[in-house]
Structure 1
Amino acid sequence: MPPAVPPPALSPRARAVGGSAVREILAVTAKPEVISFAGGLPAPELFDVAGLAAAYQAVLAQAGEEALQYSTTEGDPGLRAVVAARLSARGLPTGPDDLLITSGAQQGLALLATTLLEPGSTVLVEDPCYLAVLQVFGFAGARVVPVPCDEDGLDPEALDHLVSRERPTLLYTVPTFQNPTGRTVPADRRAAIGEVAARRGLWIVEDDPYGDLRYEGQQVPWIASFPQAADRTVLLGSFSKIMSPGMRLGWLRAPDALRQGCVVVKQSADLHTPTVNQLAAARYLADRDLGAHIATVRDAYRARRDAMLAGLPDALPPGSRWTRPEGGMFVWVRLPDGYDTVSLLRRAVEHDIAYVPGAPFYVAEPDRATMRLSFVTHRPEEIAEGLRRLAEVLR
């Protein structure tokens, strides 16, 4: 028998795009003795397991045949109506037909990349930026260009210059409690970003997974709510951080033509988001007080954020700097020159403490002295112990 011929190799994109650094760290640090500040994982003890179980039971008992059947690609009308009402109540008039229910906000990003980008298209991102979006744009074959940022986020003047020079298709931004830095773009800058997009001809993808997790300060309007940006901004949201990430429920609000394009792409990807999950979420939102649940989560996370901020001065070497987020899940740390958080991670894991090095969040030249610390998964006393271990590593 002649030797077997190997099958064709993976596509160049699949070979070129690396795995998620965060996911790889989580796999290494899954041991129960490890205190992990690495993943942006909601605290599981705060899930409303009883409320969600009751919602699933009610749906299966009362509408089981519908819940277990195929559904429309756009999403359950009842769930879309609830999401539309929540957005409208926060100052962004929205109807159910303005929305597409997605399998998590991450799928929304993938749908947009397929709908808007061709290989070689240019996209702009924050510097540093959300790590997983680099995978999405990488698989799309896009050229990713970072936009300079400061403590208030995207610099509108730098954005204007880059749009003029690079002719990008879209700007991707997490303007509220950004991942990884935790910073929030103020309202005047959001208006300026919308003005640049309107004047230069640019799509804005505004990702808002953390907006409900505000612990202090005033709510800032979405970029999508500014008139100059209304016809060119896609707003992504998710129930992952306020209800359950395992349900994989997100949504996409976009102008009609773009949303319809995403509907067609979703049909080719998974036909629709699981029916039973959508109906259970709609039932939960009808039967339970989501606002009260979010308030409970906020109170717990606020205490955890405060515990981390209180412990950082003693845990980090002199000359370190860090953000003080008004909400969200992350504190961004910059150690003094000479520290390399990538090299230090192995020693940290040996001390049963984990974080995410900052380098993977950069598109171009990384700052290897940076790290991202998530404060939501552990209780304050565990955070204090984790910072004690981190201090040993850094010494």
Structure 2
Amino acid sequence: MIQFAQRMEHLRPSEIREMLKVTEDEAIISLAGGNPAPELFPVSAMAATTQAVLEEAGGQALQYSTTEGFAPLRAQIAERMNRKFKTAFAARNILITNGSQQGLDLSGKVFLNEGDAVLCEKPMYLAAINAFRVFRPRFVEVPTDSEGMITAELERLLATTDRLKLVYVVPDFQNPTGISWSAERRRQFMDAVSRYDIAVIEDNPYGELRYEGELLPSLKSMDRKGQVICFGTFSKTFCPGLRVGWVAAEESILEKYILVKQSADLHTSSLSQRTISKFLDSYDFDANVEIIKATYKKRRDIMLRCMAKEFPAEIRYTQPHGGLFIWVELPSCLNARDILTVCLEHQVAFVPGGAFFPNGGMENTMRLNFSNMTEERIAEGIRRLGKVLRQMLNPAAH
């Protein structure tokens, strides 16, 4: 029999990827994935942009390129981050990756030995769990509330966790909860972690998708030691199929990422990079983001209104100011996986929340997405979900 590496024994399929297979059936109303709305992709503009790139620099666009990425795009990303999130990056601080997911994989290679500790939010982003789990670390979960990581718990775990190598957080409209850290909690976090020589990953795929209030300063803008590594992506603000993200960090850290990316894939698609750069030069990217925000805000508002009407009173849920997700906490007597089985019979789907806890537990939670369905399908999906929840909570009445 063929023998596999021991690490394969600990890997499991992504619950979201597996769920997407089920929701390919168009009859199912999917509140499960985190997919952007495809009708908002600038298809015509991208066709023209791609054509222009091929006509102007086709040889370079279809050729091998440097691992670091297309220099003009790296400069554009640095400028945008500095303007939006008060960072101070230059092009030399940017590495282009195959989506921010590759940044997670590269981080495991750069930082983690078996048994090292990763400090994370509770709950945390599922794809980060899966990416880091390959390297067999220990996940140390920091409890969170409506403002982010609870500072007292963070400080206690920083002081008592041995072999702590990495802190991973999503401060803006976190996946799965939708919570955005307050400005004060961000300052407290940076005060705490700055006392230790550990790397901090600030993953920010949703930060520009704020529907109320002003953009908050990034953790990196408060970094005085150069320990914060930023992840970004065009997947949520533009086109996920292009698979273009980035890692932004101090040069001494970034060179390690470049080394491991060289051994992984040489470089990210030259054509995708040049096409995005050309789009940024030729079109109003901010205006495109505003269109996305207006659509998602309407969908979020409809979902919240329908949940208030259809859900039993004992069910709690977040009311995010941006991002793509609403987090639901059910009474402890309910298991979201059981509910999902019934919901699929009613042709509506969501992601059970237990998958977002690397050490298990909290099976009475679920994540709902509002970006990918139309307003009508959101309303109908919540109606069906609410009906199932009422039946599960009070079976005698049905």
Same fold (TM over 0.5): yes
Secondary structure of 1:251 counterpart: strand
Matched, 1:332 2:327: yes
Amino acid of the residue matched to residue 273 of structure 2? Q
The correspondence of residues 108-257 of structure 1 with structure 2, limited to 5 A, is 108-167=103-162, 168-228=164-224, 230-257=225-252
Partner of residue 296, structure 2: 301
SS in 2 for 1:177: coil
Aligned residue among 16, 32, 35 for 2:10: 16
Aligned residue in 1 for 2:282: 287
Aligned-partner residue type, residue 78 of structure 1: P
Aligned to 2:258: 263
Cα distance in 2 for partners of 1:202, 1:227 equals 12
Match of 2:396 in 1: none
Q: What are the superposed Cα offsets for residues 159-191 of structure 1, whole Å, 9 maximum, x if unpaired?
A: 111111113111100000000000011111111
Among 18, 22, 25, the residue aligned to 1:28: 22
Kindly provide the amino acid, as one letter, of the partner of residue 166 in structure 2: L
**Secondary structure at the residue paired with 2:363?**
coil
TM-score scaled by structure 1?
0.96
Question: Which string of whole-angstrom CA distances, capped at 9 and with x for unpartnered residues, describes residues 268-318 of structure 1?
Answer: 000000100000010011101000000000000000000000000222222
Q: What is the aligned counterpart of 1:272 among 250, 267, 271? A: 267
The CA RMSD over aligned residues, in Å, is 1.0
Mean Cα deviation higher: 362-371 or 145-154: 362-371
Q: Distance in 2 between matches of 1:265 and 1:373?
A: 35
Q: Contact (CA 8 Å) 2:208, 2:215: kept in 1 or not? A: no
CA distance in 2, matches of 1:227, 1:234: 10
Give a deviation string over 1:216-251, Cα, whole Å, max 9, x none: 0221100000043x5100010000001100000001
1:200 deviates by: 2.2
Q: Secondary structure at the match of 1:124?
A: strand
8 Å CA contact 1:148–1:158 kept in 2: the answer is yes
Which ranges of structure 1 fall in alignment gaps of 5 or more residues? 1-5
Provide the residue aligned with 2:93 in structure 1: 98
Residue 62 of structure 2 corresponds to 68
Note the alpha carbon deviations across 1:352-395, whole angstroms, 9 max, x for none: 10000111111234212110000011121111111111122222
- Deviation digits for residues 46-83 of structure 1, max 9, x if unmatched? 10011111111111111111001000000000100110
Distance of 2:284 and 2:160 partners within structure 1: 49
Worse-matched range after superposition: 361-370 or 154-163 = 361-370
**Partner deviation per Cα, 1:79-120 (whole Å, 9 max, x = no partner):** 001101101212212110011011100101111110111111
Paired residues of 1:164 and 1:200 also in contact (CA < 8 A): no
Determine the structure 2 residue equivalent to 1:3: none
Q: Any idea what SS the aligned residue of 2:195 has? A: helix
> Aligned equivalents of 2:331 and 2:74: distance in 1?
48
Question: Does 1:51 pair with 2:51?
Answer: no
In the aligned structure 2, how far is the partner of 1:205 from the partner of 1:140? Answer: 17
Q: What is the alpha-carbon distance in structure 1 between the residues aligned to residue 258 and residue 58 of structure 2?
A: 25
Of 231-240 and 152-161, more deviation after overlay is shown by 152-161
Counting matched residue pairs gives 388
Indicate the larger mover: 321-330 or 195-204: 195-204
CA–CA separation in structure 2 for the residues paired with 1:281 and 1:360: 33
Matches of 1:285 and 1:138, distance apart in 2: 36
1:200 is paired with a residue of what secondary structure?
Answer: coil
Aligned identity (percent) is: 40
Distance 1:184 1:142 in 2: 26
Determine the C-alpha separation between the residues in 2 that align with 1:183 and 1:305: 14
The residue type equivalent to 1:27 in the other structure is K
Report the equivalent of 2:80.
Answer: 86
Give CA deviations for 1:117-162 in whole Å, capped at 9, x if unaligned: 1111111110001001111111012111111111111112211111
The one-letter code matched in structure 1 to 2:178 is G
Distance 2:388 2:314 in 1: 16
- Which letter does structure 2 place at the counterpart of 1:370? T
Q: Is the 8 A contact 1:317 1:335 kept in 2?
A: no
